[in-house]
Amino acid sequence: MASWFNMNIKLKEKEYSCKYTSLAVTEIEYPNCDSDGNILKKVSGKFEKGYFINEETQQKHDVAFKLIKGNVKKKFSGRRKEINDTKIVDSGESEDLLVEKEFLLENEDLYNELNDSNIEIKFGAWFGNGYKAYRVYVVPSKLYKGFCMMKVGRGNKSELLGEIIREREDLTDLKSKLDSIQMTADKVSETKIEDLLDI
């Protein structure tokens, strides 16, 4: 459930009473497992190193994997350095991405190609070790000529807005707002991170 806060904004002698709420990605937790897919419970160490245990067999494990869609998966390692699976998308699609990280990407030729063609590119990536896969958009900067911005996130604003609006029953035009957001979500959500990375 969304937490709402009040804010009054004054513009040209008129005051607007607004509500605002944070947009945040819902974290998906995958169960820990051993290499055979048996569920493990994490045991935190106090004076010793933590470990994982199979509660049925009481077997201890120093390392655990994650059970994702019924398959045992190990962590990503390092950073993705070679991108060969980019998808070209219309300029502006990245506006629906709930940006969690943003990077400056330097390559003037790429900037010119994207800017002149009025397109963006997207691909899947990970940063460091772990199980978090991200959707990445490379966008020519409107403010910094010659530079691209790399927008990184795991969720879409349209999905979250739909959930928030459903929670608010006091909106008179609820159906039209939901329909509008759903149309955006349908258009943008054609490619999901699961389609870009094997997770």
Q: Phi/psi class of residue 83: alpha, beta or left (left: φ > 0; alpha: ψ in -120 to 50)? A: beta
Copy the structure tokens of residue 79. Answer: 């950073």
Q: State which amino acid sits at residue 72.
A: V
Any idea which residue has 């980019």 for tokens?
86
Instruction: Name the stretches of the chain with pLDDT < 50.
Output: 189-192, 196, 198-199
Q: State which amino acid sits at residue 111.
A: Y
- Provide the 3-class DSSP secondary structure of residue 76: strand
The C-alpha atoms of residue 159 and residue 92 are separated, in whole angstroms, by 17
